[in-house]
A and B are shown apart, each in its own frame.
Chain A
Amino acid sequence: MPVLRWLRRHLIVIAGLLTLAYMILPNIVVMVFSFNKPNGRFNYSWQRFSLDAWKDPCGVADMCGSLSLSLQIAVWATVGATVLGTMIAFALVRYRFRARGAINSLIFLPMAMPEVVMAASLLTLFLNMGAQLGFWTILIAHIMFCLSFVVTAVKARVMSMDPRLEEAARDLYAGPVQTFVRVTLPIAAPGIAAGALLAFALSFDDFIITNFNAGSTVTFPMFVWGSAQRGTPVQINVIGTAMFIIAVLVVLAGQLIANRRKNNARP
């Protein structure tokens, strides 16, 4: 049976593509339903085609406010976690010192703990301190859980870096600052960028930790969560589709730049 033989030979490719379809399917549904004109509060079944939601993406009360709040928090959390995480990563890779093991575990633990546990324990701290829940408590929490991921991303890059490049720079009379800015930082940049991107995505998308520590402040994921009970506006699908398209463009652009660099580097 030629068909069966063909199937056997391409089994992995077929299985892989099926998984890919499984991963993309919800995004396609989100996209399609952004053009729906729902009948009633819930946008779960197809009614008829309409561009209403795309014409007026901010037409839902509080949605775009929550979106801009989430963006602000994500930006500041990214900045905070990237700066602190990069410093830790450099210290861990470049220096030998006491307490290294303990620090490695402290970095690893937040990633090895279910989010609810961290969320609930942070809330007990804030309650005990009598802190006002809101923007600042969310930001503190986000920097906390993004930190480990940034450290891991930057560490991987710095570890694969050839230390002789820096020695060479020093041999050529570059000062420590010059060496760092002209040699170390550019080489570490992809790792730092990856860490920052990850931090941004994690913070922007976080629901569980935010849900515990936000008080009455509403971020975008919390708005979506609330709307799942009250009735989901079509505009949520518009935002979801826009995010997907922007993400694809950003990642593709990043890869194009990386490819061009690689091609230019070739003699």
Chain B
Amino acid sequence: MNDFTVDKTAKTVTFSREFDAELSLVWDAYTKPELLDQWWAPKPWISKTKVMDFIVGGRRFYAMVSPEGDEHWSIQRYTSISPKTNFTLWNAFADKDENPELPGSEWDLSFSEHTGKTTVRIRIYNESLVRMEKMLAMGFKEGTAMNLKNLEELLATLSK
């Protein structure tokens, strides 16, 4: 991962990554549910997309499913799409009935190709740092058992 930066004042996290594939493939991997579900959830979690309508105003409603079968739902609403260049979305955790947990975060994803390799740059804006913390806590849940242990240790430190 390149240029992973956190701007606390602007409340944004920005990072970019180059992939050894042409732009159209990478774009598909981000915008087609059957492909997204193959990589979005860190193993052993799985990503299960229930609804995905990749149009402006459309949404992806999906769950991260734990090995035990626990489902953590999220909604991503597409706010703008420039094919194979950029799309933006509003992201929020949700319950199983699609009721979002506010506030959400705003994502901006840019794609560019150079000599057969594709760079994806993601910028995530959070209204509050507390929300950023929550987002990370969910990241932990989606992660490995080791990450979960780290979270417990970190939370224990923080709650002292």
Whether A and B are associated in the same complex: the answer reads: no
Which B residues have a C-beta under 8 Å from some C-beta of A?
Answer: none
Which A residues have a C-beta under 8 Å from some C-beta of B?
Answer: none
